[in-house]
Structure 1
Amino acid sequence: MTATVRSLGYVVIGTTDLAAWRTFAPQVLGMELVEHTETSLRFRMDEFGYRFQVEEGAPEGVHTLGWGVKGADELTELIAHIEKYGYTVTRHGQGSELAAARNVKEVATLSDPDGLTIELFHAFEEALTPFVSPVGTSFVADRELGMGHIFQMVSDPEKYNEFYRDVLGFRLSDYIGPATFYHCNPRHHSFAFVPAPKPEMQRVHHIMMETTDLDGVGRAIDAMKAAGAPETATLGKHTNDKMISFYVQTPSKVSIEYGTGGIFIDDETWVPTQYSSAHYWGHDREDA
């Protein structure tokens, strides 16, 4: 199969407190609020029109992941490949209501093994003006690398190995204990998962956002404390992607990993390995 997912394009997040997001995303995360209605908000972090869409009244937490492919032909090929594995895919073509709502040329929808909505799209719309962070932060996010990564707690690891490796075409990065990490571009991982300890914990655990320097992380830590946002893990350094990061809880309960210094993978030379711990140091949690 030559058609694969290329990058994480956007996330759609449900909330019961839209007003809290209006201040949290700009002040703590450094994102730019670009669209707002009575029931939804959109936030930028790079040249694209948005990366986060937050909707009031939807299921709380991340309920939709938007994964980008190269073009229309690749989307057609990928849909045919996905259907061979028994997944039902609905294509919303150019001019459709969903494609227009997502600011893409076309989008195809399906459900992952635990029922999370997956949207595959091509031709994401770029903004006409430069991204301006209200706190001066810049992000490692673009058309090749996407917006960051997703870490999900899942019911059946083997089903997710098949879904992301065999169905969507991701490549193995490495392992940390029971956690598996996959990449679809040079970013160390765009998707990772671990078995959920309990069925009610099956969900997206966190979204990773990467800044271009450590100062951006430091400013976010100060802003988190000033805003009284819950810190879910202290500053630390990961073993596999070498990211220096901390974790903060959003108004939708899903966490943000906010870091800098992640490594890139060259598929010609990369050899997957495993680690006994996720941290060289730090990342202390209250529930640890």
Structure 2
Amino acid sequence: MALKALGYVAIETAKPEEWDTFLTQFVGAMRAPDAADGAALYRVDDRVFRIRVATGTREWFVAAGYEVSDRAALDALADKVAKAGRAVTWASAEMATARGAEALFATSDPAGNGLEFYCGDARTAEPFVSPIGVPAFVTGVFGMGHAVLSAPNFDETVAFHCDVLGFHQTDMPRFNLFGPDGPSMGFAFLHADNGRHHSIAFGEGPVPPSGAVHIMLELPDLTEVGKAHDRMKRFGYVESATLGRHANDETIGFYVQTPGGFDLEIGCDSKVIDPATWVTTRHESISVWGHEWGWQKAMKAQGEQA
């Protein structure tokens, strides 16, 4: 069974107009024709959509959708998930088509994070044209990017993703984010069967009110990242982490808060691994340089006021 890549993310929002501005005028995504159920769809490449935004009553990260190699692999995965005690809900033909898939099922991990798995990726011949001139996003065999979620039952959740779903460990660090005397926090960076360093990752902790920690999109070079950083400042969006370079996947980028409350990482120059030969690493720091986080700024401000 080949777990190929992150195909798309699904989001619920009570602020569809804010999301539309964020995705088209800041990110540079292309608005695609709406789904049959009225959800707004956004492209960053030749897939029929990568980001689905449905209007609802809450701000919520509904699911990360991962592509598998074929229908036989999808059926086998559904059987494994059910045997592991997680509910499996098969999509109707109409819903699968709306997700740009041949067949699809929805489930959740032991932490309650929403997941969808599908086969038969739908593509379009209509060229990707960014409304603000972004030339391209790095996708292809690497998929859309990655999703980072949380799990209070960290070990159980990571084991489910590796032993049942078929992700593989890339980097398994523990960080003392609040100083040497503070509690350490486990992280799991997991790769699918492609060269992207991680297609999903987890932090040890409660699921946030938004349902996710962040998602990531990769731009082709630092110039495009810098232009995106300028757009963030122009729109007045909240910068969740300043420009920096990660130690594990080597991505250079920054984090910005989405209208849904979780973050979007925009970066470039991400490390490409060989998934067949990769040996798990355990980095001791999050970043080589930069990446001052919003909570760090808040703690610094409190210390200066004390």
> TM-score, normalized by length of structure 2?
0.87
Are 2:213 and 1:213 aligned?
Answer: no
Within the candidate set 105, 108, 111, 1:111 is matched to 108
Separation in 1 of the partners of 2:22 and 2:267?
17
Which residue is 1:29 aligned to? 27
Task: Please tell me whether the aligned partners of residues 234 and 283 of structure 1 are also in contact (alpha carbons under 8 angstroms).
Answer: yes
Which residue is 2:15 aligned to? 17
Displacement of 1:268 after TM fit? Answer: 4.0
Q: Which letter maps to 2:21?
A: T
Within the candidate set 76, 93, 98, 2:95 is matched to 98
Which residue is 1:261 aligned to? 269
Which residue is 1:249 aligned to? 257
Distance 1:40 1:267, change over 3 A: closer
Q: Which letter maps to 2:103?
A: E
Task: Please tell me whether the aligned partners of residues 152 and 207 of structure 2 are also in contact (alpha carbons under 8 angstroms).
Answer: yes
Q: Which letter maps to 1:92?
A: A
Deviations 1:9-66 (A, max 9, x none): 1101111211111211111111111134895311100110100011121541311111
Which residue is 2:3 aligned to? 5
Distance 1:40 1:79, change over 3 A: closer
Question: Which is strand-richer, 1 or 2?
Answer: 1
Separation in 2 of the partners of 1:115 and 1:163?
12
> TM-score, normalized by length of structure 1?
0.92
Deviations 1:159-216 (A, max 9, x none): 21122100111111012321111000210000110111x5655831000100111111
Which residue is 2:301 aligned to? none
Task: Please tell me whether the aligned partners of residues 210 and 260 of structure 2 are also in contact (alpha carbons under 8 angstroms).
Answer: no
4+ runs of 1 displaced by more than 6 Å? Answer: none
Identity of aligned residues (%): 36
Task: Please tell me whether the aligned partners of residues 90 and 105 of structure 2 are also in contact (alpha carbons under 8 angstroms).
Answer: yes
1:75 is paired with a residue whose SS is helix
Separation in 2 of the partners of 1:160 and 1:78?
16
Q: Which letter maps to 2:171?
A: D
Separation in 2 of the partners of 1:51 and 1:235?
25
Which residue is 1:89 aligned to? 88
Displacement of 1:97 after TM fit? Answer: 2.7
2:288 is paired with a residue whose SS is strand
Separation in 2 of the partners of 1:103 and 1:242?
31
Which residue is 1:193 aligned to? 202
Separation in 1 of the partners of 2:149 and 2:238?
20
Q: Which letter maps to 1:16?
A: A
Within the candidate set 176, 182, 187, 2:190 is matched to 182
Which residue is 1:165 aligned to? 162
Within the candidate set 203, 206, 226, 2:234 is matched to 226
1:124 is paired with a residue whose SS is coil
Distance 1:75 1:58, change over 3 A: farther
Separation in 2 of the partners of 1:199 and 1:151?
11
Query: How many equivalent pairs are there?
Result: 282
Displacement of 1:101 after TM fit? Answer: 2.1
Distance 1:75 1:269, change over 3 A: closer
Unmatched segments (≥5 aa) in structure 1:
none
Deviates more, 1:262-271 or 1:174-183: 262-271
Unmatched segments (≥5 aa) in structure 2:
175-185, 297-306
Deviations 1:77-108 (A, max 9, x none): 11122222122212236xx2321221211111
Separation in 2 of the partners of 1:135 and 1:267?
35
